[in-house]
Amino acid sequence: MPTRERRVLLVNHVADISGAEGSLLTLIRHLDRRRVIPTVACPHGPLAVAVQEMDVEFAPIPAMRLSRPKGLLQAIGASVKLQLLGGHVRRVADEVRADVVHANSLIGAVASCIGAGVRRPVIWHARDLRAPARAERFAVARATRVIGISRAVVDHLLGTHLRAREKTTLIYNGIDPDQFQPARDREQVRAELGIPPGAPLVGNVGQLVPWKRQDLFVEMAERVLRDIPTCWFVVVGADLFGEHADYVASLRALAEERRVADRLVFAGYREDMPDVMAALDVLAHTADNEPLGRVLLEAMSLGRSCVAARSGGPAEIIDHRRSGLLVEPGDVPAFAREVVAVLKDPERAANMGEAAVERTRGEFSALRMAQLTEEVYAEALADSLLR
């Protein structure tokens, strides 16, 4: 007898598309629709548009951004907001007759556990290494299952609650190299960015937030220019939620101070990331203790050379000196040396690029991610029947 399709409500608490949302869209694209019927609950905005373009049902919920409470009143206010969001999740879950609720963030998980956890299993997709410990403990304790996007995230969660080990599964974010392909010629994209023809181009991609450490990228640019005066640099990303204006201003000031402003392009948020990635020669990922590093997978899927900090997810993604290069976190001279070495050795860069493409088609494939996630859905449902 064929198995009935599982109705899964995927919950995302923000409207814009960043790394977590990109991974959510990739997951939806590769779920087996004969087994899973997805509905996405998220605020109106770019993510909702992308979901509906995939012919997936969309249910609006309020947007929510929470900062760490400073004092009792802020803590009470955050609790009330989470209760309200939980109510919206419960209502949508009931309307679509969801069998499982899959929360794509910690805020989504807390709200889902509050609102829908009594009636149906909740899965928390854990994507952070810097979340408030109290909220993490709450989510681990009450979620039916937890997915960690890297070994670093899983190991972090094991220290939050005694039940974390029995509930937590490692599933790497997946990338679909066939879908993540440039639509335009790389020289056309470079010209749009103001990069001279034939100039080496080193990029950094990510939200403009302090822990992404774009300041190290700016400092690295100064050193690389000493060896390769024709090199150019691009920072791709924005302060997506308007919370780090001072940091963004400090990056521009640092570029002036280090005299690299005339060689460094702040490109802002881009929707044509395959085009931009293909235009790079090297991706330098300077983030400190990155949970995974989806941008590395994207760059590697296009055969780009990547240099990243040896911590968190990047240390799991990159096979050092085969599919990319790892340096100690915060070591600006080492970042510069490796970038220069790759730019001066095209044959080595090509070999690493081939190995990088091969790696993204294996353990980090989108189909593998979707299949493993479907297994978690089945486990969560089985657990709920035993309650």
Report yes or no on 1 lying in a domain.
no
Q: Give yes or no for residue 88 having a pLDDT over 70.
A: yes
Residue 41 pairs in a beta bridge with 11, 59
Based on the fold, state whether residues 90 and 237 are members of the same structural domain.
Answer: no
**Does 161 lie in the same domain as 285?**
no
Q: What percent of the chain has pLDDT over 70?
A: 97
Asked whether residue 374 falls in the same domain as residue 287, the answer is no
> Contact at 8 Å (CB) between 349 and 281?
yes
Q: What is the model's pLDDT at position 294? A: 96
Please tell me whether residues 281 and 382 are part of one structural domain.
no
* Whether residues 225 and 347 fall in one domain: yes
In a domain, 132, yes or no: yes
User: Three-class SS of residue 222?
Assistant: helix
CB 221 within 8 A of CB 312: no
Domain annotation covers residue 53: yes
Note down the domain range covering 94: 6-174+365-386
Task: Give 287's pLDDT tier (boundaries 50, 70, 90).
Answer: very high
* Ramachandran bin of 239, using left for φ above 0, alpha for ψ from -120 to 50, beta for the remaining angles: beta
Claim to verify: residue 144 and residue 241 sit in the same structural domain: no
Would residue 248 count as lying in a domain? yes
Q: What is the reported pLDDT for 2?
A: 47
**3-state SS track over 291-357:** CCCHHHHHHHHCCCEEEEECCCCHHHHCCECCCEEEECCCCHHHHHHHHHHHHCCHHHHHHHHHHHH
Residue 239, pLDDT above cutoff 70: yes
Phi, psi of 36 (to 5 degrees): -130, 130
Considering the domain architecture, whether residues 261 and 335 belong to the same structural domain is answered as yes
The whole-model pTM stands at 0.94
Query: With 60 as the cut, is the pLDDT of residue 1 above it?
Result: no
| Domain presence at residue 179 | no
Shared domain for 70 and 112, answered yes or no, is: yes
CATH of the domain at 335: 3.40.50.2000
The pLDDT of residue 69 is: 67
Same domain, 81 and 117: yes
Rounded CA gap, 218 and 213, in Å? 9
**170-204: per-residue pLDDT in tens?**
999 999 988 999 999 999 999 999 999 999 999 99
Q: Listing from the earlier edge strand, what are the strands of the sheet with 57-60?
A: 57-60, 36-42, 6-11, 100-103, 122-126, 145-148, 168-170
| Domain presence at residue 159 | yes
Residues 208 and 98 in one domain: no
| 181 belongs to a structural domain | no
pLDDT, tens digit (0-9, with 9 covering 90-100), for 355-371: 999 999 999 999 999 99
Q: Which residues contact 131 (CB under 8 A, 6 or more apart)?
A: 106
Classify residue 147: in a domain, yes or no: yes
Q: Which tens digit of pLDDT belongs to each residue from 151-166?
A: 999 999 999 999 999 9
CB 25 within 8 A of CB 46: no
What is the arithmetic mean of pLDDT over 224-236?
98
Q: How many domains does the chain divide into?
A: 2
Domain check: are 35 and 155 in the same one? yes
Predicted pLDDT of residue 383 = 81
User: Which percentage of the chain shows pLDDT scores above 90?
Assistant: 90
Identify whether residues 225 and 369 lie together within a single domain: no
135 has a pLDDT exceeding 60: yes
Contact 7, 39 (CB under 8 A): yes
